[in-house]
Structure 1
Amino acid sequence: MSRSIWWRFFAISMVFALLMSLAYLWLMRETSLSGRGGVQRSVLLFVARIVEDGPIDESMRRLDGYLADSPEVPRQMWVVDATGRVLAARSANAPPLDWLAADRPQQPHEMHRIAGGGLRGPAVGIVRLAGSEPRYLVARFTGLPGRPLLMQQLAAFVIALAGAVFLGLTLITLYLRLRSRQAREVIARLEAGDLRARFVPERLDALGVLMLDFNRMADEIERLVGRLQQAEDARRSLLQELGHDLRTPLTSLRTSIETVSVHGQAMPELEREAFIGIINSELEYFVRLIDDLFFIADIAEPHYRKNSDPLALADILRSEMAAFQAREGLRFRLDAKDAGPVSGDRMLLARVFRNALDNAARHARGQVDIAVAAEGPMVRVAIQDDGPGMGAQAIAAFGQRRHQRLQAGAANPSMSLGLGSVIIRTIVELHGGRWTLESGAAVQGTRLCIWLPAADVPRPASG
């Protein structure tokens, strides 16, 4: 808390203390004027007993010692008999005329009061004194008794209130300084690169809530920075992979082109066509490789957002199957009777099944079976080929980036780095799904199962 703000708070607090003091002074004055409550009754009974204890004149003089000690003791008092004759007085004025017409007390120490206060003037109290002859103590509450004592009480009240305000502001200042030092330490750690720096709120007050809000903001910043770092790592990895993966096929492509250009005319036609086939194969590999690498890097971007539309998997699968139907000796069979819509991005899911069907087609001997069925909140897609199957090591490496090209299958001599399985895994996880890969004695060939979240499609209202 700065010094100027502290002084502003202190000035406001002092004004409040002054207003409270004025209210206290007004309350004391009104209480003395109106004579309400048990305080005035007790005071008058106390004065009555002093008057009764000895000669009246001497008792009235004894009251002077009490006037300086209590602001409640009335300054104007008269002792009168039943006829209204004044027997003793502490005032040069005559008794108030209201008391003669008032209902007088009948029993000793019984008190009657004539209401006053405000614009009606001071209240008047009447107490019957003990004795055989009726005598009365008449007192007028002027509202101005004990001025020195009242001023002392007022000054003490102001000082106590001002001290409490000063102490409170000092404690608040120390507390805020402590929290400010903690805030500077946390911010300094964040500036130094420690994104895990957080506040430790000790209580859920206003500052504690602000600390929790700051911690949530820091969590979001850490998450975003983490995704940016992942994106940067993906870019760096992309460049490294491009340099590593292009070197071997470029060498093969260069060798084939040089061979054809130098010895093409002397080559037999079949040998020349074989070299041209190698060139076309390597060029196709380049196109697939660059496309896959840039696609993987793109979906890893922090700003990447997928659509979440209800999609019919059967339509997507039929569309992707059409590209493989033309292959000679390969048959596709689709069973999607019990399939419901899924929630996802059509372009991404089409890419998933294109890669999955391509893998199955490259390993299959003659048939690929696709089954789609609902399983609770998910939709399961099973793609199974009738090929020779996969080994345990190949199954464990599915979805992982390989650093060496492998031949896709015995029937298909194309080369692969496994980027298709990486794309399948990334897109399925992006949609909140999961996958499994089975091969061996229990499964003829290889079966890839993919689970995707079912779409929440509102049912039509029943008539």
Structure 2
Amino acid sequence: MNRSLWLRFLAISVVFALLLSLLYARLIREIAGDASDDVQRSMYLFIARLVEEAPYPASILRLDSLRAESPSLALDVWVLSASGQVLASNTAAAPPQKLLALGRPARVHDVLTRGRFFSSTTASAIVRLDAPEPTYLVVRNAGQSGRHVFLTLGILFVVSVIGAIFLGLSLVLLYLRGRSREVKQVIARIESGDLAARFKVDRLDTVGRLMHDFNSMADEIGRLVARLQDTERARRELLQELGHDLRTPMTSLRTAIETLAAHGNAMSDAERREFFNVVSSEFSYFRKLVDDLFFIAEIDEPRYRNAAELIDVDTVVNNEIQLMQSSGRGESNSAGGIDLDVALGQRKTASCAIIGDAYLIARLFRNLLENAIKHARSTVRVRTRTRAGFVEILVEDDGPGMSPEAIAAFGQRRSQRILAGKGDLRASLGLGSVIIKTIVSLHGGHIMLESERAGNALQGTRITIALPLEESRSTADA
């Protein structure tokens, strides 16, 4: 702790001590003020009755003998006549003229005082005695010894208060200094990479609650760092896989182009068309691969938040089907030679809508439909319905079906390309299923896949996407 801080604490202690001393002095003044007038008057009357019991000189001697037992009580006593003549006294000093100038009591045993008897200052009084002629008792208390006592007590009080406040502040500061040292050690451990460093909370005071809050914050930071590390690890793996995945179609394209350049003139028209088909297929695959990979990287970003808006699933599905049918693939009720059997639910209220990103939902259904058309033999059925607080999109094809292993691996990227089948030269890494699973997860939904078994063979695949309705999500949030 530096000197300036100690001086500040000392100044604060002095100020508080002075304030408490003023309060203490005010209380003493109140105690020795009006509340003690009756006691003060009784003391003077007691002395007056002692003087009245015998001749005045003898009574004063008796009073001095009684006062001798308490030498700290210094009393000067005079008995005066109405004319001011001293009839008896225990001192050679003259009566206090300032007191006499105030006047004299008119009735027997009336008391006229000046100053307070129980204080460190001089106090005096005039008492009219019970005598045939007006006679007055004058008493003066010098108060010298009491002044020293009060002064000493006041000084000790101020010093004690200053010391107590200063000691208390010092103890608090030393406690905080120790905690500050512990804070620096924990922070230094965290900075060095020890994210498990925590405070030992051994008390539930304000500082203890702060340490508990710091530990909670450190836990959250640890979880955030772990997520960032997982994201970075996934990003590195994605880049590595991206290089591998892009290298395969690039190699295929290069080989086909070099073959055409070197032997194109010697090839027949059928062979050249076959090579051009390979180049076109690889180029389409290459473009779709890049789009899918970057789309997955975008929606897997930790800071990604899907746009919140009301979406009518029927409208999105109908729009995607119309876009596919109007893309020149065939008749209005078919796509690439595959018949589309579409039956959408009739929902007219916003309560059946979902909350999500319309672009992602459109991309979700597009991938579902393209995947079904790619594997179907002749027909793809599309249905939408609401059930148990969810809106369900059902896409069913009459293709060869999926094995239990393929269903379990749905949503995972394949380690190698496989052909789409039916003589199609296009190949896939399964990124479409990865996109489907990611979008459904972002919207709080779930996926169910089924393939029927006909004898020893699988036939057809039905994929059901269930997304929570807007009304059910609002109820869950509430």
Q: Which TM bucket (shorter chain)?
A: 0.7 to 0.9
What's the offset of the Cα at 1:190? 1.9
Matching residue of 1:100: 105
Secondary structure, aligned partner of 1:336: coil
Tell me, yes or no, if structure 1 residue 336 matches structure 2 residue 340. no
What's the offset of the Cα at 1:176? 0.8
Matching residue of 1:437: 449
Q: Which moved further from structure 2: 190-199 or 150-159?
A: 190-199
Matching residue of 2:167: 167
Does the Cα contact within 8 Å between 2:450 and 2:462 map onto a contact in 1? Answer: yes
Matching residue of 1:446: 461
Matching residue of 1:185: 185
Matching residue of 1:58: 62
Does the Cα contact within 8 Å between 2:381 and 2:396 map onto a contact in 1? Answer: yes
What's the offset of the Cα at 1:147? 0.9
Amino acid of the structure 2 residue aligned with 1:371: T
Secondary structure, aligned partner of 1:359: helix
Matching residue of 1:251: 251
Greater Rg, structure 1 or structure 2? Answer: 2
Amino acid of the structure 1 residue aligned with 2:360: L
Matching residue of 2:336: 327
Deviation by residue 1:392-417 (Cα, 9 ceiling, x = unmatched) = 11111111122111234557553211
Deviation by residue 1:286-308 (Cα, 9 ceiling, x = unmatched) = 11111111111122334433211
TM-score (norm 1): 0.76
| Count of aligned residue pairs for this structure pair | 435
Q: Which moved further from structure 2: 162-171 or 140-149?
A: 140-149
Does the Cα contact within 8 Å between 1:338 and 1:372 map onto a contact in 2? Answer: no
* Inter-partner Cα distance in structure 2 for 1:78 and 1:410: 139
Q: Which moved further from structure 2: 84-93 or 415-424?
A: 84-93
* Inter-partner Cα distance in structure 2 for 1:141 and 1:438: 113
Matching residue of 2:262: 262
Say if 1:101 and 1:314 are closer, same or farther in 2 by CA, change over 3 A: farther
Matching residue of 2:415: 403
Secondary structure, aligned partner of 2:345: strand
What's the offset of the Cα at 1:327? 1.7
Does the Cα contact within 8 Å between 1:102 and 1:114 map onto a contact in 2? Answer: no
What's the offset of the Cα at 1:188? 0.6
Matching residue of 1:360: 372
What's the offset of the Cα at 1:150? 0.9
* Inter-partner Cα distance in structure 2 for 1:454 and 1:126: 101
Does the Cα contact within 8 Å between 2:383 and 2:394 map onto a contact in 1? Answer: yes
Say if 1:156 and 1:368 are closer, same or farther in 2 by CA, change over 3 A: same
Say if 1:157 and 1:257 are closer, same or farther in 2 by CA, change over 3 A: same
What's the offset of the Cα at 1:13? 0.8
Percent identical residues: 46
After superposition, where does 1:230-241 map in structure 2 within 5 Å? 230-241=230-241
Structural RMSD (CA) = 4.5
* Inter-partner Cα distance in structure 1 for 2:375 and 2:431: 16
What's the offset of the Cα at 1:175? 0.8
Does the Cα contact within 8 Å between 1:48 and 1:137 map onto a contact in 2? Answer: no
Tell me, yes or no, if structure 1 residue 419 matches structure 2 residue 424. no
* Inter-partner Cα distance in structure 2 for 1:333 and 1:285: 28
* Inter-partner Cα distance in structure 2 for 1:205 and 1:103: 68
After superposition, where does 1:202-241 map in structure 2 within 5 Å? 202-203=202-203, 205-212=205-212, 214-215=214-215, 217-219=217-219, 221-241=221-241
Deviation by residue 1:93-126 (Cα, 9 ceiling, x = unmatched) = 4888788357969xxxxxx998998xxx999999
Matching residue of 1:108: none
* Inter-partner Cα distance in structure 2 for 1:264 and 1:146: 129
Amino acid of the structure 2 residue aligned with 1:238: L
Say if 1:104 and 1:49 are closer, same or farther in 2 by CA, change over 3 A: closer
* Inter-partner Cα distance in structure 2 for 1:142 and 1:397: 108
Say if 1:382 and 1:24 are closer, same or farther in 2 by CA, change over 3 A: same
* Inter-partner Cα distance in structure 2 for 1:145 and 1:30: 21
* Inter-partner Cα distance in structure 2 for 1:407 and 1:141: 122
Secondary structure, aligned partner of 2:466: strand
* Inter-partner Cα distance in structure 2 for 1:103 and 1:270: 151
TM-score (norm 2): 0.74
Say if 1:253 and 1:144 are closer, same or farther in 2 by CA, change over 3 A: same
Deviation by residue 1:110-161 (Cα, 9 ceiling, x = unmatched) = xx998998xxx999999999xxxxx999988999871111122112212221
**Gaps (5+ residues) in structure 2?**
54-58, 130-134, 326-334
After superposition, where does 1:303-322 map in structure 2 within 5 Å? 303-322=303-322
Amino acid of the structure 2 residue aligned with 1:275: F
* Inter-partner Cα distance in structure 2 for 1:218 and 1:364: 53
Does the Cα contact within 8 Å between 1:324 and 1:361 map onto a contact in 2? Answer: no
Does the Cα contact within 8 Å between 1:48 and 1:127 map onto a contact in 2? Answer: no
Secondary structure, aligned partner of 2:344: strand
* Inter-partner Cα distance in structure 2 for 1:140 and 1:374: 106
**Gaps (5+ residues) in structure 1?**
106-111, 130-134
Does the Cα contact within 8 Å between 1:386 and 1:446 map onto a contact in 2? Answer: yes
Say if 1:337 and 1:28 are closer, same or farther in 2 by CA, change over 3 A: same
* Inter-partner Cα distance in structure 2 for 1:381 and 1:373: 9
Q: Which moved further from structure 2: 202-211 or 155-164?
A: 202-211
